[in-house]
Chain A
Amino acid sequence: MDATSGTSSTALIPPEPAVAGVRATNLKAGPWWRSRTERKNMRLGLLFISPWIVGFLGLTLYPLYRTFYLSFTRFGGFLDAEWIGWANFDRLLGDDLFFKSLYNTFYYTLLAVPIGVVVAMMLALAMDQSLPEIPLYRTILYLPSILPLFATAFIFMTLLDPQQGLVNDMLPAIGLNPPNWFGDARYAKIAIVGMAQFGAGQMALVFLAGLKGIDTSLYEAAEIDGAGVLNRFFKITLPLMTPVILYSLILGISSGLQVFTQSFIITNGGPANSTNFLVFNLYRNAFNYSNQMGYASAMGVILFLITVALAGLVFFTSNKWVNYD
């Protein structure tokens, strides 16, 4: 393909070598659709990303539209959806269980996400040590993250068993009363927050990449100026890692609000609805109860709006604490 063919305007621009990623046609003046080559490029480009486009339209945009539509209906999945206006949203306002599940979800997210950032940062710092056997340590630290949540759930059920679990065997040794983790409404959510940290390795890799991107000369200069380890971390590492922290916060909030699997597998929402999270509540309404698909969709809409609002809040306040230098 001849990248320089096209309009006469090419002649006005000094010729540049067609290096990787920069093509001369990109520098041409005028809209892309006037150029035959660019139109062809666009067609090819669209063709190449068409699997994503089909997926996005069919598996994201359409379900989103359908969820919004169903939230205004009474629907059981089989008979015709019946338009009932705002009735589902009205009902949500008086539904104690909805607010309880919302509270449980916020409780989980507000604990699990910040703790997750701290754990991921600690893991990344541990993975960043210059030791000859560091690849082995990185593998060990990352390993729990590749376990499916289902497997992690069973490991935690065994570890936190009130009578035979390793954790409760050890707690009396440090003077703590061993609780019934998944069986006590006061501790069940905390146990699930702890369990979430098993997957911190995933984010730790992103943090590690961030750490690797920090110019080592900054540390050397700080060390010459007499800065200690803590000073170097808080004055250099942390500020320069804020873009990565922002990314992990937005991702964490989004996945935290969708917490489901743990209560589905381990607690079935109990004890006494203490682990009945919003998505669990939504799932029950959609698939366990009859004609509640519309009500479940209304919960989905609320969850969507909350997620967008929180992500937006974090994003728009980020210019106060994120450092892009």
Chain B
Amino acid sequence: MSKFAHKHINRRSVLKGAAATGFGLGAASSVYLPTAFGRQEKGKVVFWTTHSGLGFEAMQKIGEDYNAMGGAHEVEIVQRPPSSSNETDSAALITAVRSGEGPDVYLLDRFIVGERAASGLLEDITPLMEAAGDDTDLSATFAGFAAEEAQYNGAIYAMPFDTDLRALFYNVKLLEEAGADMAAWDKANGPMTWDAIAEVLHSLDVKDNNGALTQAGFVPYFSQGWHYTYGFAFGGEFFDYENCEVTPDNEKNLQGYQWARDYCEASGFQELYDFRQPSSRPGSSPTDSPFIQGRLGAMISGNWEFAGFKEYAPDTEFSYTFTPVPAEGDPSVTWAGGWSTVIPAGAKNPEGAYDFMKYMTGADGQRTYVEINNNLPTNLELLGDAELLGEDLKWFADQFETTRNRPVLPVGAKYWDEMTAAWELIYTGEAEPADAMAQAKENTMADMEAGGYCPIEAPE
């Protein structure tokens, strides 16, 4: 039996015990006080990202390098689970900021900076830049399209980080077997027309006894074959600043969608859709991609694919060329996305946040990111560095001049979702491009009008 078993516990003994415990804890914590105060001397900057793998490793290295400089602030790099498969979903960030637990810096998809700025989620960093005596002309430091996406209605809300560009990737062996003119596919000879690639790629379609495609030349909407891809490639526009309206039904956009619809019809709407399905479901692995499996002749995708090719299909010869053009002699136009650093509303250390953002998106931070994650930088200082970028990334960087970005709108996410629903109807043959996009326009404009956003300042 325990020697304490017979003792009564009364109120006095409980109070005495509590006082002793409190005193003990206080004494113990005082041992650590100098360290705690030592930490507080440096302003803590909390950085959140939803990146994983090499991207996150690179950001950790950037954080370590920043802290090693021994400045006034110390950054903590925190990995957060991605919200969902939908890139416009910011639920986790919104709820964290609302509850006062948001980070000081957040890595946000640059395309929704305007959207989040309009709702008040982001801090305008222009005053911080001015206070630090920095140039508020972002295009002096970053690629033009990236600088444009970081601003909304004349104010700066983000600093651009990396970017990604779209191009036409192809499987060399499959094309050779189909008897394609490989010189025409060589990027050194400039872009091909959409009709020229269609002719070759249709011949690569192979069906089994049930009529299902076992190999396809091209799936217009696979990977990065988005509404924006075809609209920009055919010379279209997505926003009319003068009339303050979205223009998914721009005549040239519709030409692009018609081309994609015709291609799908010729290969079989349902057959192409079924062919793509296993690789498009959430949680599918890179090896589910028919392009990696060597069953797809060509695809529109981006510069991030190189790492996957190397890892999952090292023996297959892939190459790439310009995004095709509507007619011979037209310029090839592609579009870019990418990420940017922002300061969410209510950040506890905005000065420190801006200091870290400047380092991360500056030449040193972006260089580390390119070295580890092999991504395209947006910092102008690095774009001419052929040694850093290597042959492939350099080629992509050279396309920046004709690269477009999605318009920065307070309804950017809604616009994307509406066009995506319309795009599905188009490539499955359920609707004509003009009808589907007219509906997308009407639905998006309902949000524009309800928000009272007009007029929207055109980017310089």
Least CB separation from B413: chain A residue: A288
State which residues 100-138 of B face A: CB under 8 Å: 115-116, 118-121
Is B2 interfacial (CB-CB < 8 Å)?
no
State which residues 421-460 of B face A: CB under 8 Å: 421, 424-425, 428, 430, 439, 443, 446-447, 450-452
Chain B positions within 8 Å of A295 at CB level: 450
Chain A positions within 8 Å of B88 at CB level: 288-289
0 or 1 for each of B198-217: is its CB under 8 Å from A? (1 = yes): 00000000000010100000
Chain A positions within 8 Å of B273 at CB level: 180, 183-184
User: A77-B121, A97-B443 given as contacts; is B430 within 8 A of A185 (CB)?
Assistant: yes
A183 contacts B274, CB within 8 Å?
yes
- 17 extra A-B contacts, CB within 8 A, seeds A272-B421, A288-B89, A290-B451: A76-B118, A77-B120, A78-B97, A78-B120, A97-B443, A154-B283, A157-B283, A162-B277, A163-B274, A163-B275, A164-B278, A180-B274, A284-B417, A287-B90, A288-B88, A291-B119, A292-B450
B443 contacts A96, CB within 8 Å?
yes
| Docked CA distance A62–B265 (Å) | 53
User: A94-B446, A266-B282 given as contacts; is B428 within 8 A of A271 (CB)?
Assistant: yes
Most buried by B among A183, A273, A289: A289
Q: Please, could you name 15 A-B residue pairs with CB atoms under 8 Å apart, sorted by A?
A: A74-B452, A76-B119, A78-B120, A161-B281, A163-B275, A180-B270, A180-B273, A182-B277, A264-B84, A268-B85, A288-B86, A289-B88, A290-B118, A292-B447, A292-B451
Chain B positions within 8 Å of A290 at CB level: 115-116, 118-119, 410-411, 413, 451
The 9 A-B residue pairs with the shortest CB-CB distance, nearest first, are: A76-B119, A78-B120, A290-B119, A287-B91, A79-B120, A290-B118, A162-B274, A288-B88, A272-B424
| Docked CA distance A183–B443 (Å) | 23
Least CB separation from B284: chain A residue: A157
State which residues 330-368 of B face A: CB under 8 Å: 345
Interface residues of B (CB under 8 A from A): 84-86, 88-91, 94, 97-98, 115-116, 118-121, 210, 212, 270, 273-275, 277-278, 281-283, 345, 410-411, 413-414, 417, 420-421, 424-425, 428, 430, 439, 443, 446-447, 450-452
Is A303 interfacial (CB-CB < 8 Å)?
no
A182 contacts B281, CB within 8 Å?
yes
B9 to chain A, nearest CB (A): 22
Interface of B is mostly: helix
B378 to chain A, nearest CB (A): 24
State which residues 160-215 of A face B: CB under 8 Å: 161-164, 172, 180, 182-185
Is A2 interfacial (CB-CB < 8 Å)?
no
Chain B positions within 8 Å of A162 at CB level: 274, 277-278
Chain B positions within 8 Å of A183 at CB level: 273-274, 277
Least CB separation from B423: chain A residue: A272
| Cβ 8 A contact of B411, one of A79, A95, A289 | A289
| Docked CA distance A265–B84 (Å) | 8
User: A74-B450, A161-B277 given as contacts; is B417 within 8 A of A288 (CB)?
Assistant: yes
| Docked CA distance A270–B85 (Å) | 13
0 or 1 for each of A75-108: is its CB under 8 Å from B? (1 = yes): 0111100000001000100111100000000000
Chain B positions within 8 Å of A287 at CB level: 89-91, 94
Most buried by A among B212, B345, B414: B414
B278 contacts A291, CB within 8 Å?
no
Chain A positions within 8 Å of B345 at CB level: 78
B370 to chain A, nearest CB (A): 31
Chain B positions within 8 Å of A157 at CB level: 281-283
Least CB separation from A283: chain B residue: B91
Chain B positions within 8 Å of A283 at CB level: 91
